[in-house]
Amino acid sequence: MSDSNKSNFEEKSLRAQKIFPRNLTARAAYQVAGNPVVARLESGVGNCYPGLEYDHRNLDRRFFPGLVFDFVSQDDASAPSQKRRGLRLTAVELNDPDLQGDQSLRDSLGSQSAALGAGSWFVNEIEQDGKKILTYETAGNNIEYLDGMVIYQIVRGLNRGKVRIVLSNRDGDGASVELTGERRGFLNEDGVIKSVFQPGELTQSLCSPWQHDFRDCGCNYWASNHPDIVLTEDEVGEALLPTGGSADPHRAQTLVDWLRADRNREAAAEAFPTREENRLFQMDHYEINRRWEQLAVVLEGKEISSIYRPGEIHRAAPLASPQEVADRLRYLASLEHVLILEYLYAYFSIAPPDRVDANRFPDIDDAVIFARHQLLMIAVSEMRHLRWANQILWELEHAKLISAESGPALEVAETVPAAGGGHRKAELRVLTMDTLQDFIDVEAPSGTLDGQYASVAATLREPLYPPSAYQLAERIIADGVEHFSRFRELKLVLKNYLSENESPYLLALTPADPQTNETAAAALAAYSSIIENLAEAYEKGDMEDAKYIITSRQKMEELETLARKLAADGFGIPFFNFEQSE
């Protein structure tokens, strides 16, 4: 690679290698290449979680020659009994090499080994240099046994030299055995780990990330590397949304526990909200050791067992030319525009909370607050889409990919895509269930809007186009899916208040006549002014803080006030009337 080909970055990093900080302030301000401080040994998580590195307790399990212990902790699931906490004897090894020099200990262990082999033996007393520590506390008649971790600290603190221990059988009659031996060191004379420590013993408590620790480890280090909740796998031939999600709204939203023990598809139930509740239904320790291969690979939040297929949106065919993209965007913008008007008209048709009868219809006041909010959010989001569509157009123009003749896209579409692939007349209607269904249909992810944006996005992804244009198209698609689910939620809520011939959440609006209604005329003028100002703003491509945007925002507030006034009188803003114009 010649010098001139070197990227700016490479040149910079090469230069960084040619300067050397000398004094303290220069060193402090200088970014040193290499591992950061958190990568150093002393910063290791193993300092708190020895399972990730090395656990010293594995050495002290053999602190007493001829015996092997376990430090049993109170939160050990396998030993919930208080009585089983402490320093528990697990084996007597008469062939322990460190017994060879201690004939008397070997003799007493030999004579007691049969007794120690039966029941549950725990160390009750530890004594060294005249200091005795009991491994239990008494309060009246109650005996409280010390936790294994506390006893570990005591054992850890033992010096080299003689140690006397008293073992007692907590299962049987409380028989006890007293032994005295040398506290075991870890290394032999050559400084090598003693042969009494068996291969594998020192590493036995290290994490096993594909087994127990993958389901839950104390520091969540491994457990955080798998998903908690996932969507289940698509069935063969299942209808999918263009985004790749399931078309079945229930399946699209039902998250199941990734670690669930019951892998039966039909039995896959929604995960509980907390880890504790899910715990009972998950693969347990040991189970996960055997079955971990059944855990699914997860892509885009969904379990995958066969070949991954990207969603339709990611497979959409690109359009042929920038002009075709522009034409498509222009059409889509006109659709966004007409939907804004339909949604706003419907929005003002939902009764404000003080105009509904909460005595007859429980909680209807909350329902209308929710409905108004949802619908307004969707309308605002569509306004943003209209702006983004115009921004993409502007960027295409600016990149000289299309000619700059047609100006901002602020037309209003006359028809709207409907269910089944057809079109319906655009219409200003109150929010009846039919209207709502039409809204759901147009926003359905399988519908026209998203599908067409998908081809736009697929085209804008090509290197010819400015990168920001592609990102805007992707965001419009993602928002569309959200509109769909918001409308469906809206339907669920409002459905409760419907009866045969009554829609108690609705105001009966009819489009006002601007010839006779001054408020309506003012509202139309405000709307017109908004569009003119937006046209100016989109024309200049200056969409962040230009005066035109500010003016149109002011006009929007004016429009809202007027619309509320009209709605109170039973009228809606006559944004358009395509019936008349035909």
Partner 1 sequence: MLVENKKIPVQVPPSRRALPVLTRGALIEPSETLQKTPAARYHLIEGATPLVFLLEGSRLFAVEPELFAELKTGAVAVEEVFPELLAPLAASIADFDSLAEPTAISLNVAQSCNLSCGYCYADEGRFGGKAGAMTSETAFAAIDNLLAGAGDRPVTVGFMGGEPFVNRKVLHASVAYARRRAAAQNTKIRFSVTTNGTLLQPADIELLRANGFSVTVSLDGAEQTNNRLRRSKDGSSSFARTIENLKPLLRKPGAAKLAARATVTRADLRVRERVASLAAVGFADIGVSPLRQSPDASLALTDSDWSSFLNEMIRAAEDEILRLQRGEKLRFSNFAEALRQIHRGASRNLPCGSASNYVSVAADGNYFSCHRTIDNEFFAFGNTADGLSAAARRRFLSARQVDRQEPCSSCWARYLCGGGCHAEVAAVGRGGCDYIRGWLEFCLRSYDRLASANLLPFDF
**Which residues are near partner 1 by CB under 8 A?**
12, 15, 18-30, 327-328, 331, 334, 397-398, 404, 407-408, 410-415, 423, 452, 528, 531-532, 535-536, 539-542, 544-545, 576, 578, 581
Nearest approach in angstroms of CB 520 to partner 1 is 16
71 close to 147: Cβ distance less than 8 angstroms: no
Nearer to partner 1, 155 or 338 (CB): 338
Residue 61 is given by DSSP the state T
Element (H, E) at 127: strand 121-128
Nearest approach in angstroms of CB 412 to partner 1 is 5
Nearest approach in angstroms of CB 344 to partner 1 is 15
Q: Which amino acid is at 396?
A: L
Nearer to partner 1, 173 or 544 (CB): 544
Q: Which amino acid is at 210?
A: W
Nearer to partner 1, 381 or 455 (CB): 455
CA distance 105 to 93: 12
CA distance 81 to 58: 23
- Which residues are within 8 A (CB) of 510 and not within 5 positions of it... i.e. 6 or more apart? 570, 571, 572
Per the listing, tokens 């399972």 go with: 51
Strands (E), 136-184: 136-139, 142-145, 162-169, 176-182
Nearer to partner 1, 34 or 273 (CB): 34
Nearer to partner 1, 309 or 398 (CB): 398
Residue 56 is given by DSSP the state T
CA distance 524 to 514: 8
Tokens encoding 301 = 């939040």
**Beta strand pairing call for 423-425 and 510-511:** unpaired
Rg (CA), the chain: 37
Nearest approach in angstroms of CB 383 to partner 1 is 16
Nearest approach in angstroms of CB 529 to partner 1 is 10
Nearer to partner 1, 81 or 323 (CB): 323
Nearer to partner 1, 75 or 545 (CB): 545
451 close to 332: Cβ distance less than 8 angstroms: no
Nearest approach in angstroms of CB 33 to partner 1 is 15
Nearest approach in angstroms of CB 34 to partner 1 is 17
Residue 285 has a CB neighbour count (10 Å cut-off) of: 13
Tokens encoding 169 = 């059988």
Nearer to partner 1, 132 or 424 (CB): 424
Nearer to partner 1, 42 or 544 (CB): 544
Nearest approach in angstroms of CB 571 to partner 1 is 20
CA distance 295 to 230: 11
Nearest approach in angstroms of CB 463 to partner 1 is 20
The closest of 240, 263, 264, 237 to 251, measured between CA atoms, is 240
